[in-house]
Structure 1
């Protein structure tokens, strides 16, 4: 490649020199030849005239000699002029020689001073890198396709599904990646790292939105592994998307010291924290309705009780004061088909303005399945609860419905 480059440079310089030098050379040679030939011709014609006039008697010998001397002097002056022109032509040719030397030297000097002498090497390296990248992608595609085919024959290979999900995510095939992670989740159960990978792929598949199933998986993973860095990152993103800036801030502030060894990620989180604080200051500390001080609740049904419920049965999730009236401080209504699920209880869900969740330091949180749909507990209802929970706490409250109301 380098030899071709320098050959091209030499051809370009030679072409430029031919365009400049050839016209100059021809012009000087033609000018010198024309002047010389014209003056000699005139001198010869004048000498013939003088000789003819001498023969005809129009001139005496003395007159002929005088005019002949004048002609010699005139021709001598013209010859001096010709010599001067020749010297100028010689100077012009010296300039041509100078140009022949100057142009290549200056061009090469400018190139080595201002140009990139490694440009061709870099182009070669980029081409080789691109070729290697394409070869690597083709290899990855073959491996992924082979893995997908193998998993059709071995569908219970959880590690294989995880590897397939990561590979498809790297290839930006997020829908397929989510399906692979879903298989791993089915096989491995509530493993936080798997749930978070599944949530991330689902979110990417729906344009980066974390609402819905991704958020459920994220908060469920955080309830099992409250210090997981990926969970805190995604949890903050999900809460910020919901408008719950205070909770998002708590997640990211908890994440910040865990990123001390990763300066780039640390700067990003610090930037998000600063933006959140500015947002909270702009709103005077107020958030969206779902962003008020509350309790994150994860609800699931014990596997042994699934045969006792129907998909359409009502699920009530609510908080009660530990002492005093048993009226719910905040309540959410769902269906068995939604289980397992994640909800937030907050002041926006209060039944009366006088009884708000934020007014209590500790509360009891209950999840109950009602076949009748009645808000009051009935015999035969299925129930689960946590005796005490603190509104505004970082980690979610996990409730398993595993008892029957007598």
Structure 2
């Protein structure tokens, strides 16, 4: 903002110069004062001449009085003209000087009251990437203060609060965003989710009303479907959880990493129901693999750490042909990988002769990097025997 105010000051100085320079260049009014003094001297000289003529007998007393009156009128006329000139000159200087001072001050005052200095400052801040989530949250808080009509600002501030585990604060921001946008379904879902976690995972009547409203407007609103599945699972309504999560899974792209988490949730719900998942109709290679953690690493991991299981082509593209995501708490686990687990339609197990299996533990939940890993030797995609994959070394 310093350079902005420097620019304002420079412009004000240039504007004032147009008023001040002519005044500074103008001649003093000494000429008017000199003229008045000369007129007085001439008046006194005229009176002396008239008196001399009277003394010499050239003028009568009446003529002397008339002459003195005429000289006085001439002196008065000249003096009034000089006074008007001086007054005009003084007024001409006073007004430009006053304007040169007051106009910039008035302009700055009006700008501070009605202007957008805070928005200028925010735009400058957002031009630089934030260094932390806390800094980003602070910027968004200032944004909604300066722009209370910005639904996007309230939405992103709510998302930021959710990332900081502040669901109650997030719920208030989603509510304000929904009020500005006409209660869009996706906003209602986010609002309901924040309220659910703010109430310690309690499915309150308000949460139920918001999810119902969101799904009535959009039957495929993903946040509401996921939330209803979580609430059903937590209340041991496992079949409802399976139904909601299955609907959600069908809406997600094949490469979406959330699909693996949903599969795990659906499997646990079905296990609690005492049923098994119906075997999917698959064709092509079906690789069975048992994944477990080396005993030496069991004290170094946490139950919530993510475990990614990959199948990559030997001598092919680096992108995985199939991927599954579970947690350390699920280990040991046996999974079956097929073309149904492909991340991209053009990269399938059936398109390659050999693959290598690997499993990675990632505390940050990142599939591309982690703390510990295990790999299998290359094997044919036509292999039917179950493979053992042990996570046994640091990465």
TM-score, normalisation: structure 2: 0.34
Normalised TM-score (structure 1): 0.33
Q: Which has the larger radius of gyration?
A: 1
Hey, which of these two has a bigger chunk of helix by percent? 1
